[in-house]
Amino acid sequence: MEKQNFDFHVNTTQKNVQGSSASEPRDVLVGSIDQMLPPSLPSRYEILEKIGTGGMGAVYKVYNKDLGRIEALKVILRAEKNPEYFLSEARIIAQLKHPNIVEIYNLGIPPAYYYTMEYLPGKSLKEIDKPIHDNFSWLAKIFYKIAVALQYAHRQSIIHRDIKSSNIILVGDEPKLVDFGLAQIRGKCDRQEYGTEFYMSPEQTNGDSLDPRTDIYSLGVTLYELLAGVFPFPKGLEDILSYHAAKNPKNFNPSIPDSLAKICLKCLEKNPANRYATAKEFAEALQYFLTSVEKNPQKPGKLSNVTAIKGENMMGGYHEVNVNRGEYKMESSILIDVKHIGEGAKIKEEIRLKEAKNVTALETETLDGANIDICIKAKKVNGLNGLEIKRL
């Protein structure tokens, strides 16, 4: 495989699940999913579609015929065996009134173990393209709002315990924190500690007593995921239990501002005492970053006469070129310049620029049976060629 990267890019496409994701890291210590709706569900709810399942239940998009609005209805699995466990999540969310926390509407009466909440038509952070390359202010604002929401919850003595990218839903540019199924009231819960692999703090993984700093750690993992396109500890529980310092996210995405990378890594300290003491402190650090960016905006760069792959023959193998510079201008460039491309060659190019002027993604004299995938995204174009073939 031949691969050239100006910045490494990971593109993820997953179906949105309000509070869960079918293809995300596994929930630890949870059972199978029962997809049956309770038979005693009130007739005022018209089931429109199932929008997801998680370790604690299933979520449906419903139409409330009495109120004439779309809602999300969450069914709790095996709730009849422990009604108090079912009621706890709804009670926890019900006491939280914050613009960046999902709002609960109604609680089902046993044996119909469900509750309804606002339906969020957006997508989760799990679904957006990662890593982020050029919109760090936008990302910092998202995490600032979630940190403020967490601070509000922590002041009510509520610890979420399952912060992750699929539990942050974007409605436009407004984030909403969802899925309090694992939340606990600090000092009043003796439930077994568990969460979602890759996002759990070391103390949560070890089953130690928790305080709000476990949420700060998990939010830091989520920020790292968006910045770097990978998890800080890719082996999951194995890595977390044998803790070592996380690699700087700039190793995977050099365009990350130093100050933002530093904020992220502080959240991931093994010792909670070395993290931000509160979500408010985390939010203040992000606010300081945003203020600094506004005072010193990054100037877009320029790339000229760029050739990633040049040669005579490409008769097989896998060849990939990624140019992810959303604030850069590229001009007078041929990214792949090969005279002869033969059968068996597989070529993938992804180009993301602010402006492209006289840029050719692939130029060849002969092309015979190759598999070519070219994706070009540019805000401004002046002379952009995806593929130029002189002779088929």
Q: Which two tokens stand for residue 162?
A: 């399952």
**Which SS3 state, helix, strand or coil, does residue 177 take?**
strand
Of these residues, 162, 173, 211, 258, which one is catalytic? 162
What tokens appear for 200 in the block?
Answer: 């759990």
Closest among 126, 116, 124 to 48, alpha carbons compared: 116
Pairing of strands 318-341, 309-314: parallel
DSSP 259-299: HHHHHHHHHT-SSGGGS-SSHHHHHHHHHHHHHHHHHSPPP
For the question of residue 162 being annotated catalytic, the response is yes
Is 162 within 8 Å of 85 (Cβ atoms)?
no
311 in Cβ contact with 338 (< 8 Å) = yes
Q: Radius of gyration (Cα) for the chain, nearest Å?
A: 24
Contacting residues for 128 by C-beta, under 8 A, at least 6 apart: 12, 170, 226
Q: Which long-range contacts (CB under 8 A, 24 or more apart) does 208-213 make?
A: 210/159, 210/161, 210/184, 210/186, 211/159, 211/186, 211/272, 212/150, 212/154, 212/159, 212/186, 212/278, 212/279, 213/272, 213/275, 213/276, 213/277
- Residues with a catalytic annotation lie at 162
